[in-house]
Structure 1
Amino acid sequence: MNKYLLLFLCCLTSLALRAQNHVFVETESFANKGGWVTDQQSFVVIGSSYLMAHGMGRPVKDASTTVTFPKKGKYRLWVRTKDWAPFPKGPGRFQVVLNGTPVSTVFGESGSDEWKWYDGGEVNITDATLNVALHDLTGFNGRCDALLFTDAPKFMPPATTAELTPLRRKLLGLTSQPIDAGKFDLVVIGGGIAGTCAAISGARLGLKVALIQDRPMLGGNNSSEIRVHLKGETDQNHYPKLGRIVREMDNGDPGNGNPDGNEYGDARKIAIVKAEKNITLFLNTFVDQVETENKTIKSVVGRNILTNQEYRFSGTYFSDCTGDGTIGYLAGADFHMGRESKAETGESLAPDKADNFTLGTSNLWASVDRDSLTTFPVTPWAIPFSEEYHVDSHKADWEWETGFGNFNTITEAEKIRDHNLRAIYGNWSYLKNNKKEKYGKKQLAWVAYIGGKRESRRLLGDHILTQMDIQDGKFYPDGTATATWTIDLHFPDPKNSKYFEGQEFFAGTKHIKVAPYTIPYRCLYSRNITNLFMAGRNISTTHVAFGSTRVMRTCGMMGEVVGYAAYVGKKHQTSPRGVYQDYLQELVTLIRD
């Protein structure tokens, strides 16, 4: 009897589910983004990207799209959003507009900085198709992840990412399995300078390469979205021809945070990559799954940050150029994050005790001169500045930095960026409203909404580069890319710490000069994942040594070496370690000639 009752109840549940109509809309897939921007930095936390009204205090144009409904009638609207600066209520207010009429609820001012579903009330759908728009009210970074319309009276959207992901896939009509994107000799994940150079060097030697980047442009920190200049020298190499690809990518040195984004050469980078017949470029693709077998990566799965469709990339070799060491982490690679102790490394610059301290993330900004007076709102929700403490500057440089172990640079990337924004807007508001003689005709022209990260995970290889390697100028037989940058380890600016202890957003440093030294090839592959290379800021170093290796021209040369090593590996059907053990001289000759 119980078995039949259970079967009957299951049938009723199934019928009830079929009777419910849910219409799910991801805002990043809106046909017209208007003035809103797509932000994927919290993908690992909330499971998707979202739209943000980044107007620097001026409301942006509406984002809009057309939504089709299975039937007319009454639906309840749910909106997934947050109040990013709830002090007590933040500035990111926006409205949802249906066929030109705003719903009664104003979103983004709830007083909670957690991503949640908010009840937008009952709406009456009188047409099969509906124009849906996001209307920004402030220009101060209101954000919206998704909209859900449901005619089920008691239905509430899933609260957690784990529960929401399968519902998203079902309601968006996505494939149950990732679409096959192909089989490649080398799959490079991360389209910064390191990853782009790795892809080009491998492709020019005949490898079939996939280059996967989670943004719509290449260059990473050197793109117009972040605007950090290239540093490190390419002309002091032990192998002088190494660095040629880096020089191709180099658009000159416009400095940090230049208000003219064209000076960072986005189009140049894309054109160079697209000219390579052996590279298949996948932009706007965030890799969040790795499929392994016996400590070997078989494939990675990436999701398009605009459509949410998943793709599978199979390969012989993989190169983690994500900066965060994401691929290595997902594959189970050995890694370290934070500072090692003196006892562990023997380094004089290491702390006495190991900790979670990492260099922080910068969001640069710049102002421009105008012919007449301009205004900027008072920002009671931002970080407070005063005559006693403010930053008297018309643009940012590297010092605008948040992290320092107070925030996790991976899982709290959004909080770090938002803290930077509160500092930027608060300081600018103070200057505009209290120093009008100097700043009255200046206008905030550009603020980076994508954070420029410095440090997160470092994947461990067969050699871990140390302070002693650098300062002693050791040249190992597998020495490859030459590094020239100082040991540049940032710390909170003491005056900033005095006023904002534990919430610092301004950095200091002490440059420790080094003679040019070479980075061993053994730092560029994982010690426990058999076919994983890495290039960029996530290579195998200690925290102290990382302070010197992390600059982008140096990272680009690492990428070139990875491309050459993958070619040698494929030629001899061996692993990255096998290249070192059995074919090192061939790799060195290739780099030299």
Structure 2
Amino acid sequence: MKTRVIFTLLLLISLGHIRAADLFVEAESFSNKGGWVVDQQFMDLMGSPYLLAHGMGVPVDDAYTEVTFPEKGEYYVYVRTYNWTSPWKKGEGPGKFSLSVGGKKMTSPLGAEGSAWIWQIAGKVSVKNLKTVIKLHDLTGFDGRCDAIYFTTEEGKVPPSDIKGLEAFRRTALGLPDEAPVAGQYDLVVVGGGIAGISAAVSAARLGCKVALINDRPVLGGNNSSEIRVHLGGRIEAGPYKELGNLQKEFGPTRGGNAQPGDYYEDDKKSELVANEKNITLFSNYRAIGVQMDGQKIRSVIAKHIETGKEQSFEAPLFSDCTGDGTIGYLAGADYRMGREARDEFGESTAPEKADKMTMGASVQWYSVDDKKPSPFPTFSYGVEFNDKNSEKVMMGEWTWETGMNYDQIRDFERIRDYGLLVVYSNWSYLKNGMKENSQYRNRKLGWVAYVSGKRESRRLMGDYILKEDDIRKHVVHEDGTAASTWTIDLHYPDPANTANFPDKEFKSIAKHIEIYPYPIPYRCLYSRNVDNLFMAGRNISVTHVALGTVRVMRTTGMMGEVVGMAASLCKKYHVTPRGVYRSYLNDLKGLMKEGVGKKGLPNNQQYNEGGTLKNKPVVK
């Protein structure tokens, strides 16, 4: 018997079938993340959330976790990482970090070579204890990133680099099931926890729907959260349904301002509102990654936890896409548009003569603080050079620091966000280290720089009606008008002065405004024309690029969410689709909009950033 075992072992060795011992570790699953943060924004592009060392030029605390190796021995170590400044400068980048295994520091630096997400060799380690602590050591504070770590006893065995191959490898390595377990049965699944998503969920819940609210960040609020810090805009108590917007009084921050300290945005108020609704189950840190269809209807949405990798399936007769990017609609095959329509298509005088892919950009906001003593900042120069003529001599940057207008806000989004970081650090480095007369900056340090970028525009999902410029400017009345848009038609363009200094590398924007009279958004813009059970609320509704300029501010998108929640309750009550509400139960919807779902009698605490161009009569230009 012993001879047979040895013979079999020798045979396997001779055939090359000895299986390597290996261990795959997702960085975002580390039990102690130290000063590193989880970034999920680009997992659709590069395959996974990752850990980001966002220290604004100061190395962050180590991230660490204990792992269990399958056996003792010599392991080759690979780290999936990205040299994030490589689009602008070849050579070593600033996002440097190192890895230690059981107290032994591996080859350094990681994260500073190549020009794409790669598996970088970190060296070889001898594992003597099956339970071992591994650590990530940030070396610069400049946004080093680590997706995963792979240990193998087989030399040259590296996980796939292509996204599909890597996903299959991950599932096998982590033992993920082929089918996600069902999280529960709901009347409505709302994906996206920004102002529109919160409003849709609460509205539906108060009208008797059982709601799952899926949000891919640890805090609610989207652009109005402490992570992005954009204040609310637009007016409530306007248009034909004055009770729409009352809900915003319950959770909207009472202070305005972009790029302000985090407490301005009152994350806790939003969380408490949702937690107090017994019909809502909140799934924080879950990102929707797939849908399952029954013909033209969504059967379920699959969502993955951004730290544990756990997947769940959410089933419901109705879904609302409040992702901003129209992610659920896109995955479900919904008709959508992206970019600017040609002037002649809808007769829009503000549109360009020819259609193009240009969108409004995304903002990486930031501010500095007085450190009361000289505060150094490392020299940072990675392909975008600043000088006395072209530098921005400011102590903060808000919405005008806008990037990516001429890039794809979905496919190129990591590059867009990274460019926002690049110019903030590069400009600040010049002010601190290059400018001769810089006494006003010597005691200042970066107090906050957003790493979650604030988007304005990407996919727009098409409904039974596409709102256009003439509807708004000529105040065309539609029988299914709902929440009133009150903001100007506010479209952003590259700042000409910034273009002159940084041709094709702009990072500043200007806004052009067209005054409007409060305009009720047609209900037909709030549901998909070809996915039968899909609502949408937010900047991804059925509008042209020009019309998006007025509907996209957050008090307006919040009121859209209220309307969607109301319509969902009617779908449940009458067993109809969103389109069925328009065809047969529009008067019921009007009754709900007249009544509202917010608490009665609350004072209007939302009177900041309302927009200064509201008129008392329609404006036709």
Alignment TM-score > 0.5, same fold: yes
Q: Secondary structure at the match of 1:425?
A: helix
Deviations 1:247-289 (CA, angstroms, capped at 9, x unpaired) = 212112330001x101101111011101100001001111010
Whole-angstrom CA distance in 1 between matches of 2:467 and 2:412:
28
Partner of 1:312: 313
- The structure-2 alpha-carbon separation of the partners of 1:375 and 1:583, relative to structure 1 and needing over 3 Å to count, comes to same
1:342 matched to 2:343? The reply is yes
- The structure-2 alpha-carbon separation of the partners of 1:534 and 1:69, relative to structure 1 and needing over 3 Å to count, comes to same
Whole-angstrom CA distance in 1 between matches of 2:235 and 2:181:
41
Amino acid across the alignment from 2:399: W
Deviations 1:156-198 (CA, angstroms, capped at 9, x unpaired) = 2111110111221121122231021011100000000001100
Q: Which residue, 67, 77, 100 being the options, matches 1:97?
A: 100
Partner of 1:35: 35
TM-score, L = length of structure 2: 0.92
Deviations 1:375-402 (CA, angstroms, capped at 9, x unpaired) = 1111121521111111111111210000
Partner of 2:303: 302
The CA RMSD measured in Å over matched residues stands at: 1.5
State the 1:16 CA deviation. Answer: 6.1
State the 1:357 CA deviation. Answer: 0.4
Partner of 1:5: none
Partner of 1:453: 455
Q: Secondary structure at the match of 1:490?
A: strand
Partner of 1:528: 530
Partner of 2:25: 25
Amino acid across the alignment from 1:109: A
TM-score, L = length of structure 1: 0.96
Q: Secondary structure at the match of 2:586?
A: helix
Deviations 1:409-449 (CA, angstroms, capped at 9, x unpaired) = 11211111110111000111111122421111111100000
Equivalent runs, 1:212-223 vs 2, <5 Å: 212-223=214-225
Whole-angstrom CA distance in 1 between matches of 2:390 and 2:546:
31
More divergent stretch after superposition (313-322 vs 241-250):
241-250
Equivalent runs, 1:387-426 vs 2, <5 Å: 387-405=388-406, 407-426=407-426
Whole-angstrom CA distance in 2 between matches of 1:512 and 1:17:
70
Q: Secondary structure at the match of 1:510?
A: strand
**Contact 1:359–1:454 (Cα < 8 Å) also in 2:** yes
Unaligned runs of 5+ in 1: 1-7
Whole-angstrom CA distance in 2 between matches of 1:75 and 1:287:
35
Amino acid across the alignment from 2:227: E
Equivalent runs, 1:71-86 vs 2, <5 Å: 71-86=71-86
Deviations 1:66-100 (CA, angstroms, capped at 9, x unpaired) = 01011100011010001111323210010001122
Partner of 2:233: 231
More divergent stretch after superposition (426-435 vs 534-543):
426-435
Partner of 1:429: 429
Whole-angstrom CA distance in 2 between matches of 1:177 and 1:502:
45
Partner of 1:586: 588
Whole-angstrom CA distance in 1 between matches of 2:458 and 2:156:
42
Partner of 1:566: 568
Deviations 1:354-381 (CA, angstroms, capped at 9, x unpaired) = 0100000001001111211111111121
Whole-angstrom CA distance in 2 between matches of 1:391 and 1:347:
35
**Contact 1:81–1:115 (Cα < 8 Å) also in 2:** yes
Unaligned runs of 5+ in 2: 1-7, 596-621
Equivalent runs, 1:54-453 vs 2, <5 Å: 54-86=54-86, 87=89, 88-110=91-113, 112-258=114-260, 260-381=261-382, 383-405=384-406, 407-433=407-433, 434=435, 435-453=437-455
Deviations 1:184-230 (CA, angstroms, capped at 9, x unpaired) = 10000000000110000000011000000011111000000000000
Whole-angstrom CA distance in 2 between matches of 1:247 and 1:540:
26
State the 1:149 CA deviation. Answer: 0.2
Task: State the number of aligned residues.
Answer: 581
Whole-angstrom CA distance in 1 between matches of 2:353 and 2:198:
38
Partner of 2:610: none
Whole-angstrom CA distance in 1 between matches of 2:333 and 2:174:
31
State the 1:500 CA deviation. Answer: 1.5
